[in-house]
A and B are shown apart, each in its own frame.
Chain A
Amino acid sequence: MSFHTALRNGASSVFLRIEEALDVPFGGTDNPLRHLGAIGLYLLWIIVGTGLYLYAVLDTGIDAVYQSIGYLSLEQWYLGGVLRSLHRYAADGFMLVMMLHLFREWCYGRYHGFRLYSWMTGIPLIWLAYAAGIGGYWIVWDQLAQLSAIATAELLDWLPIFSEPSARNFMSPDSISDRFFTMLVFIHIGVPLLLILGLWAHVHRISHVDYLPSRRAMVATLAILIGLALLKPALSNPPANLATVPGALDFDWFLLFLHPLTDVSSPALVWSLLFGVTALLFALPLLPHPRPQPAAVVDPANCTGCDRCLADCPYAAIAMTQHSSRPGFRLAVVDADLCAGCGICAGSCPSSTPFRRREALVTGIDMPQQPVNALREQLEAALARLEGRTRIIIFACTRGAEAGPLAAVDTAVIGLICAGMLPPAFVEYALRGGADGVLVATCRSGGCEFRLGDLWTSQRLLGQREPHLRRTVPPSRLQLLAASAHDDRTLAEVLAEFRTRLEALPVASDRLPPYLRSASHHA
């Protein structure tokens, strides 16, 4: 195992433990670590909203701006001051959340294959975010702005960009003009616009993007930021004076840490670090990593063009075209480069129903590594084999809790690439084929490797999403469980409880009529 893999595995198991620990108070939907991208976007909207107010009310002019920002914080503290603080603290939070998001995606190895595009488009966002944030501090034109502007200019001057050192622009108070200030504001609006454009590209190749955190998470985040703004309002340092060196300053370590780092090392080291880390991030996908999973394959004869796979694919890998042999019909096509090989589409296709009488079940869209037909054969074999008082079929995502050891004479375990690839009709099929109960184990909420598998599975089985489990299926005979790879014990316990509950049901009270596709086939 390479050093990088060992490091990543260590980091991911720590991160996953923390993430799962936060499930306890938050639950999957509100767990911030499971929705870092969405929290980042939410913070960005707070920054944009408060920024628009600041832009509208600030006097632009190198002397006036310090006064007018000061006015907001000191006189109009209840509105302008709070908005200013929100703007600053949301920016700091954004940096923190962005770095955590980056760390998490790295930990979980999400930088190659179908995720390459998200990864590559994420990296430039870091530069844009810092450029926007650092530029923002200059607008205040206090001593911190002075320090940051000069330090940034000196750092840039180390690179062969400008023919004349840009730090020469900050030699004396009269060398700063209103034009400089206008340029600053321009940059501080322009760069965030680029960032938003970059973010649009970043999420372009995934569908059902987690654009915003849950309502509760949004309210709580805004509430703590407002609380912070009231308790500890963002204030300016003393006004800039280029004729003197700034003294001890209140310092934003989230955004401006590069300046002290340059002071204790050197521009050469800082640039090597910045370019080095950036190059490493770009090069990460070149490292050896697991082979990509085979992509989904469409069978035109069994595709009716119903769009369900298109609606459910988490990676926007499916498009619809004209059906080649059926005029007026549409046909799903898969872009293999985008396809994660998750099988969620196979689970969504109405043609995946096991009740079809054909000898071989050929569905509209299928996974070469685990075709729906093989799934049905596995299920039928299990049903034929099971004996005992309560026969239970477990459909379990192989990335979640380890179900294999639970197999027994009365319990069969069928592993799935992702729980999302289970066509809901398989539950009914199992019950009508002799099972007393079906347990479907997904990953924890928000913990699906393929983003949406846990969500679609539970929605389909609860009748909230197509294809839904038929309402004639008694809920008492279906157990849904969201369990991660660390939840083996929970899975065993839930199975035991489920069995006890099934055994307590009045005999045959709610049994579905048996269904045998064709007795001759598995006689």
Chain B
Amino acid sequence: MLKPAAIVGQVILYGAFAAVIGTFATWPKYQQIPSDVALIKLSISHLGERECRKRTPEELAKMPPNMRAPLDCPRERSDIRLEMDLDGEPIFRTVLHPTGLYKDGVSTVYKRFEVAAGSHRLTVRMDDNLDKPGFDYVKDEQITLAPAQVMVVDFNPDRGGLFFK
């Protein structure tokens, strides 16, 4: 039989074990981002352009009939240049490289920015063909961010290129 002192000791120690578990299973609370801050997530996945050359009629004539594609396209995709400004200040500049062994895959970026809630001017520029000068896509808009809001900057050619949501 256990002595009373041993029972008391065991109860205290088992209790301490439970208390440690019960406490640190929920406490202290954790808040990742202050409550007056919003998040802008830049998340784009896009195939860069490639420079195709029109084949001349002579070239085409030399090819077997079933392979006479009018355009000669390389596999390799262009890098993508991306810029993001907040309230006129540059906050992000990058050049994305295509994935894949032959550089024929999509280029992707995922990045988040903590921004004070409120009204901001957000400008995003994207150039998906570095052989041609200038940005092919620009989105420049006054946005209002609620506290804790997550706003996504994405790209979809079917939705007119860059968009905020």
Contact = CB atoms under 8 A, between A and B. Distances in A.
Contacts of B20: 96
B150 A252 contact: no
B13 A250 contact: no
B18 A227 contact: yes
Interface string B11-53: 0011101101110111111111101011101010100000000
Interface string A242-284: 1111111111111000011001000000000000000000000
Interface residues of B, number: 44
Contacts of B41: 171
B60 interface: no
Contact of A250 (B21, B26, B43, B45): B26
Contacts of A25: 5-10, 13
A315 interface: no
B99 interface: yes
B108 interface: yes
A250 B148 contact: no
A250 B27 CA distance: 6
Given A24-B9, A250-B29, A228 B22 contact: yes
A164 B5 CA distance: 61
Contacts of A221: 14
A164 B106 contact: yes
A249 to B, nearest CB: 6
Contacts of A259: 30, 32
Interface string B89-120: 00000000001100001101110000000000
A167 interface: yes
A30 B10 CA distance: 10
Interface string B57-76: 00000000000000000000
B45 A164 contact: yes
Interface in A143-182: 147, 151, 154, 157, 163-165, 167-168, 171-172
B159 to A, nearest CB: 13
Given A25-B5, A245-B32, A163 B10 contact: no
A243 B151 CA distance: 7
Given A245-B150, A247-B148, A248-B31, A26 B22 contact: no
Size bracket of the A interface: 35 or more
Nearest to B16: A224
A147 B32 contact: yes
B83 interface: no
Contacts of B148: 244-247
Given A168-B45, A243-B149, A89 B21 contact: yes
Interface string A213-245: 000000011011101100110100000001111
Contacts of B108: 163-165, 168
B85 interface: no
Contacts of B32: 147, 151, 245-246, 259, 263
Contact of B30 (A228, A234, A260): A260
A189 interface: no
A2 B110 CA distance: 46
Given A165-B43, A249-B30, 10 more contacts: A25-B5, A30-B10, A92-B24, A96-B21, A163-B108, A167-B110, A232-B26, A245-B33, A245-B150, A252-B26
